[in-house]
Structure 1
Amino acid sequence: MRWIRRAVELLGEIERTQEEAIEAAATIAARVIGSGGVVHTFGTGHSRMAVEEMFPRYGSYPGFHPVVELSMTFYTQVGGANGMRQAMFIERVEGLAEQILANYELRPTDAAIVFSVSGLNAVPIEMAMGLRKAGVPVIAVTSMRETNAVEPGHPSGTRLADHADVVIDLCTPVGDALCGIDGLTEPVGPRQHGGRRRRGQRDQGPYGRAAGRGRPGSAGHLQRQARRAAASRGAVRGRLSGARPQGGRGAEKAMSVLVAVSHGGIGSACVGR
């Protein structure tokens, strides 16, 4: 039950520190949708889960437009064709965001939410840059601890948070793992993979693996990845099943649950960074 306690503590931190940001984001979204606009939502990797949860469903608000690129989010294969190595490479490709945005008519009467735990990869950063260039207000959902743990690697020297009108901090720890286990050198529950190496951290490869856990592509490694992904998806959906926006303060609370559960180290073994 230690993980549940830590998850509740994390939600409490979000409630204490992010109310103003969540209210500002909710105000932007309500204004845009109420005047006939849409709120574009974007994320790579497992950040796609937050995008999908914003898609119209029973009890939710219409007006959110998901932008989902399968090349960076289609996680049915761990290795091989459409595998995670390719997806994690693609989300770092500079210039791709511009090509994605070229498919849409961007209007200043719309808004956007960009999800990225680290806020360091090229595609989320450049999505925010392109949206703001078009006059679209941007809400960034990111972990400030994670994003400030290393120097930005983007040629602009910036992070996702630098290109947002509102920043919602996920309050997650560096590495996005909540609990330590005897005998393991790294915290777990869940483990945040991918992203850039952190200060003082040895290179663990694209899967963030510790020595002795099996090389990528091995049977043991693939089984662990599959079990972790299945458990994480179930945890997210279970926690979100009770979040039904009802307007006003309820909408803000629902957004905070969505933000925390889908990206706060509570319900996803995130790869999208």
Structure 2
Amino acid sequence: MNKYYEKVKGILEQCFQTQQKDILKAAECGAQAVMANKQLFFFGTGHSHMLAEEVYYRAGGLKNIKPILESALMLHEGGTKSTRMERLEDYAAILLDEHKVEAGDVLFIISNSGLNAVPIEMAIGAKARGVKVVALTNLNHSAPAKPRHRSGKKLYEIADIVIDNCGLPGDAAVHLDAIGLSVGPTSTVVGAFIVNAMIVQLVENLIAAGFVPQIYLSANVEEGDEHNAKMIESAAAERQGG
């Protein structure tokens, strides 16, 4: 446990020191989209989908955030199935169509390896639609790895902005000599910091620009339900008006 704490603390510090510039870029890109009444889409497969849920409809969350949650690509229907599905080519175009991802939006793609077909094709397809793509990935894993996709590209080579989670290859950070294996993945805890730090900065940018962001409250505080219901109603009215 102590080793894991030290590993996470060290990676968080490295991430904070080396990735600030790109987190700031992502925040400004997102702020510009919000001010243009565009959407911030978050997408990940496997365990990475948790970071798409992390920022959605929660205390301190922005109304403009929309996760792309596809059950077959998550873990709900089995880990081996989701692993096979995220390697399936030509799947991403369906998701981009179904979620109506369009020019001016921003798509945040979370993929620790950055190697599998669906995240890569989400990035390619989104950019073809005029969407800015922000990748959250593990360059220590991805950069030396062989490409898996027919394009010969990895996620970080396609995205407009790349944020490195500074993890180890394979993600697990604590090596156990007794069994010759490692435990303690870091991509989720570090990734949660990255996406929330980016949103905090995004909101600060909106306020500095004189724009009032719409922020959800916790549903477990007294005024939370009423506040959030009004936001949802206003969002529905905007969609009908648009």
Q: TM-score, with normalisation over the residues of structure 2?
A: 0.76
C-alpha separation between the residues in 1 aligned to 2:153 and 2:73? 21
Q: Deviations over 1:175-227 (max 9, x none)?
A: 111112230212211399xxxxxxxxxxxxxxxxxxxxxxxxxxxxxxxxxxx
Computed over aligned residues only, the root mean square deviation of the Cα atoms, in angstroms, reads 2.5
Unmatched tracts of structure 1, length 5 or more:
76-81, 193-231, 252-273
Instruction: Note if contact 1:177-1:190 (Cα within 8 Å) is conserved in structure 2.
Output: yes
- Residue 239 of structure 2 is matched in structure 1 by none
The within-5 A match list for 1:54-69 is 54-69=55-70
C-alpha separation between the residues in 1 aligned to 2:148 and 2:155? 11
| Secondary structure at the counterpart of residue 120 of structure 2 | helix
- Residue 149 of structure 1 is matched in structure 2 by 144
- Residue 105 of structure 1 is matched in structure 2 by 100
Instruction: Note if contact 2:135-2:156 (Cα within 8 Å) is conserved in structure 1.
Output: yes
| Aligned-partner residue type, residue 159 of structure 2 | A
Give the structure with the larger strand fraction: 2
Instruction: Note if contact 1:178-1:190 (Cα within 8 Å) is conserved in structure 2.
Output: yes
Q: Deviations over 1:69-113 (max 9, x none)?
A: 0011143xxxxxx32211110110000111211213332221110
| Secondary structure at the counterpart of residue 95 of structure 1 | coil
Unmatched tracts of structure 2, length 5 or more:
208-242
C-alpha separation between the residues in 2 aligned to 1:136 and 1:27? 15
Instruction: Note if contact 1:175-1:191 (Cα within 8 Å) is conserved in structure 2.
Output: no
- Residue 43 of structure 2 is matched in structure 1 by 42
CA drift of 1:239 comes to 8.1
Which consecutive aligned stretches of 4+ in structure 1 deviate over 3 angstroms post-superposition?
242-247
| Aligned-partner residue type, residue 114 of structure 1 | I
Report % sequence identity.
33
| Secondary structure at the counterpart of residue 114 of structure 1 | strand
| Secondary structure at the counterpart of residue 140 of structure 1 | strand
- Residue 25 of structure 1 is matched in structure 2 by 26
CA drift of 1:56 comes to 2.4
CA drift of 1:130 comes to 0.3
- Residue 130 of structure 1 is matched in structure 2 by 125
C-alpha separation between the residues in 2 aligned to 1:109 and 1:150? 32
- Residue 116 of structure 1 is matched in structure 2 by 111
Q: TM-score, with normalisation over the residues of structure 1?
A: 0.68
- Residue 200 of structure 2 is matched in structure 1 by 245
C-alpha separation between the residues in 1 aligned to 2:117 and 2:166? 22
> How many correspondences in the alignment?
201
